[in-house]
Structure 1
Amino acid sequence: MIADGTAEIPKAHAWDPDHLRLAVTAAGVALWAWNVDTDAFTMDERGFELWGLPWRAEVTFEELSAHIHPSDRDRVHSAFAATRAVLGSYETDFRIMIGEEVRWISARGQGEDVGIVGRTMFGIFLDVTGRKQAEEGNELLAGEMSHRVKNLLAIASGLTAITSRTAPNTQDMARELTERLSALGRAHDLVRPLPGGQGDAALLGDLLSVLLAPYDDMGAFKGRIRVAVERMGVGENAATGLGLIIHELATNSMKYGALSAPTGTLDLSSTATDDEVILTWLERGGPEVESPNAGEGFGSKLVRRTVAGQLGGSIAYEWSTGGVIITLTMRRDRLSS
């Protein structure tokens, strides 16, 4: 009993070797000893399990090195050779290969020969695979978010610059720019994980339907826009470009085509080959259509460049008397990326 009345824990009991072993096992710690003269390693059973080796009395440093990831091997050799000169504690993280499995190991100990006994240094190995995978996931997510933001800012900057040169006044510029950016937003909202290993994508039919929904109830009846396309995923990059294309085509139709008439209709359908997806935009019931004589405007340039550059395809216009027919040909691999 100590002065304050609490019971004193016997030192022998607090540091009982069996209890210490239980604590080491519970923490997932592997113990190692390294003879600095012979380079021989001895490890406990947990150490051999961690390295994927059958237990034996000792293992050479070279035998362990054969399991270190080739990209980390030289760094680990240098790190262990330098540990005797390190002041204080050290920690070295590296990868090892267990067949096809990659594990992250953290080697920890005391440098400057602290605690060396009979030319042997002591330390521990920890399996830090989970932590490293989490760190890599966070870095990947941060990089992806940075990439997406930069892409969107570049698109917004380009749209602003070109729209400012073509819009007759600030009101039209603000309206056109807002509509185009809204189309981008609607497309990105649909990008989500799909089942069956299809990746992060929007379904083509969903994407087209959402992009065209604002135009569907602007006439005499609802349902005048019909979408019938194959079920396939559209990747995030393609969704951005396709969103801009559909917005430009719908805007032109509202100004000059079938969607400018109360009873006009728009049908989108698709046919496909192994390598291509062909989207047909068919307008009917609008004013009489004539082939444009003026030079190519920004919207037309945007559509043509996006189809060719981003989707690896082409666009063709047929100015029929019944209404314009637009054929978008897109590479399947580009559409899904």
Structure 2
Amino acid sequence: MTTELPTGHEWQPQHLRLAVTAAGVALWAWNVDTDLLTMDARGFQLWGMPWSDKVTFEELSSHIHPADRDRVRAAFAATRAVLGDYETDFRILIGDEVRWIAARGQGEDVGIVGRTMFGVFLDVTGRKQAEEGHELLAGEMSHRVKNLLAIASGLTTITSRSANTTQDMAVELIGRLTALGRAHDLVRPLSNGQGVAALLGDLISILLAPYDDLGAFKGRIRVAVERTGVGETAATGIALVLHELATNSMKYGALSEQTGTLDITSTTEADQILLTWLERGGPSVGAPDGPAGFGSQLVNRTVSGQLGGSISFDWSEGGLIVTLRINRDRLAL
């Protein structure tokens, strides 16, 4: 039966070859008695092998990824018992390069001619890499959702213990969760090995922006820190700490005054980055009496656990000074 082309010309062998080449298809023939394979030039190119009249299945399978080799050998051996079309995907190694190959054909001796079976190889590396990317993304999203739920659960427990009324609890909990939300809005890959979430200065500025709008003038909160990347875990920890400090400042410190100011700067000390929180223009402050509240416990636990550092408070005459030490290796996590 002859298939007509749209132009009215008949299919010719060269037309078929052009179509096969354009589709990136490599042709193979397998003699089921001698176990020899014959491939076209595209097949040898796909496998990264020099062209030859014939190649043994053993020679070809030596290029298959060790983790897939036994499975592929078993699949090829079983093709004669498989009714109809079959397809198997596997990896091959070409030096340090990994390629994904799809082998397709017909089993149970369908179409066998002169003891030879026929099929094709396709390079499906792009599709497999996309699938792996989707799986990684799904796994990452699942991981982040679980982390956020765990953090939200912990914050709810802590806030319920420290709040005097349900209204206070709602206000404090919403504030803490909002701070976390603003931190996670910044999560994105950064270039040049700077981290995988956000730049430190951007993170601090966005987290404190709502407090800057509550004074007599905009710009009373100033951020001048080094350009460095912050990872997802560290961003969460920093968001919680800054929210607690800013909330306390709004209640008792410099941010409670319309003209009070807050400066956040950074310096480097050995393997740590030091963030300095400097309040000025507020009421006189002093160290709190009695044991630390749950907010302070949360801050200390976050700094020592997630950030691998420490936090200290200086209740100076001019205003509160907080020194936050963060392990630089933890900052990128």
Give the structure-2-normalised TM-score: 0.93
**Alignment partner for residue 214 of structure 1, among 195, 203, 210?**
210
In 1, the alpha carbon distance for the partners of 2:15 and 2:278 equals: 79
Aligned to 2:190: 194
In 2, the alpha carbon distance for the partners of 1:211 and 1:50 equals: 52
Amino acid at match of 1:33: A
Aligned to 2:280: 284
Aligned to 2:239: 243
Task: Work out whether residues 4 and 11 of structure 2, in 8 Å CA contact, stay in contact via their aligned partners in 1.
Answer: no
What are the residue-to-residue correspondences of 1:92-131 with 2, within 5 Å? 92-131=88-127
Residue 230 (structure 2) pairs with residue 231 (structure 1): no
**Alignment partner for residue 154 of structure 1, among 150, 155, 177?**
150
Residue 75 (structure 2) pairs with residue 79 (structure 1): yes
The CA deviation string for residues 121-151 of structure 1, in whole angstroms up to 9 with x for no partner, is 1111011111111111111111111111221
In 1, the alpha carbon distance for the partners of 2:56 and 2:163 equals: 75
Aligned to 2:295: 299
**Alignment partner for residue 53 of structure 1, among 46, 49, 61?**
49
The CA deviation at 1:324 is 2.1
In 2, the alpha carbon distance for the partners of 1:43 and 1:105 equals: 14
The CA deviation at 1:157 is 1.9
**Alignment partner for residue 205 of structure 1, among 195, 201, 206?**
201
The CA deviation at 1:15 is 4.6
The CA deviation at 1:9 is 4.2
Residue 256 (structure 2) pairs with residue 260 (structure 1): yes
In 2, the alpha carbon distance for the partners of 1:55 and 1:218 equals: 74
In 2, the alpha carbon distance for the partners of 1:286 and 1:276 equals: 30
Task: Work out whether residues 197 and 232 of structure 2, in 8 Å CA contact, stay in contact via their aligned partners in 1.
Answer: yes
The CA deviation string for residues 54-85 of structure 1, in whole angstroms up to 9 with x for no partner, is 11101111111121111111111111111111
In 2, the alpha carbon distance for the partners of 1:288 and 1:247 equals: 21
Aligned to 2:18: 22
In 2, the alpha carbon distance for the partners of 1:50 and 1:38 equals: 23
Task: Work out whether residues 196 and 332 of structure 2, in 8 Å CA contact, stay in contact via their aligned partners in 1.
Answer: no
The CA deviation at 1:330 is 0.6
Amino acid at match of 2:96: E
Change (3 A) 1:290 1:9: closer
Segments of structure 2 that go 5 or more residues without pairing to the other structure are none
Percent of pairs identical after alignment? 77
Which stretch of the first structure deviates more once superposed, 51-60 or 264-273?
A: 264-273
In 1, the alpha carbon distance for the partners of 2:262 and 2:195 equals: 30
The CA deviation at 1:191 is 2.6
Residue 28 (structure 2) pairs with residue 38 (structure 1): no
The CA deviation string for residues 1-44 of structure 1, in whole angstroms up to 9 with x for no partner, is xxxxxxx949xx74532222222112111111112222211101
The CA deviation at 1:245 is 0.7
Which stretch of the first structure deviates more once superposed, 90-99 or 251-260?
A: 251-260
In 2, the alpha carbon distance for the partners of 1:327 and 1:207 equals: 18
In 2, the alpha carbon distance for the partners of 1:117 and 1:91 equals: 20
Aligned to 1:144: 140
In 2, the alpha carbon distance for the partners of 1:75 and 1:274 equals: 52
The CA deviation string for residues 265-306 of structure 1, in whole angstroms up to 9 with x for no partner, is 222111114521111112223222222222222211111111
In 2, the alpha carbon distance for the partners of 1:27 and 1:284 equals: 70
Which SS does the other structure have where 1:91 is aligned?
strand
In the alignment of these two chains, the number of paired residues is 329
Segments of structure 1 that go 5 or more residues without pairing to the other structure are 1-7
Amino acid at match of 2:66: P
Q: RMSD between aligned alpha carbons? A: 1.9
Change (3 A) 1:107 1:289: same
Task: Work out whether residues 161 and 294 of structure 2, in 8 Å CA contact, stay in contact via their aligned partners in 1.
Answer: no
Which stretch of the first structure deviates more once superposed, 215-224 or 163-172?
A: 215-224
Which SS does the other structure have where 1:148 is aligned?
helix
In 2, the alpha carbon distance for the partners of 1:121 and 1:224 equals: 78
Which stretch of the first structure deviates more once superposed, 50-59 or 288-297?
A: 288-297
In 1, the alpha carbon distance for the partners of 2:103 and 2:213 equals: 66
The CA deviation string for residues 107-131 of structure 1, in whole angstroms up to 9 with x for no partner, is 0111112122222211110111111
In 1, the alpha carbon distance for the partners of 2:297 and 2:33 equals: 73
Residue 86 (structure 2) pairs with residue 90 (structure 1): yes
Which stretch of the first structure deviates more once superposed, 46-55 or 230-239?
A: 230-239
Amino acid at match of 1:222: K
The CA deviation at 1:242 is 0.6
Residue 315 (structure 2) pairs with residue 330 (structure 1): no
In 1, the alpha carbon distance for the partners of 2:140 and 2:37 equals: 42
The CA deviation at 1:213 is 1.7
Amino acid at match of 2:325: T
Give the structure-1-normalised TM-score: 0.92
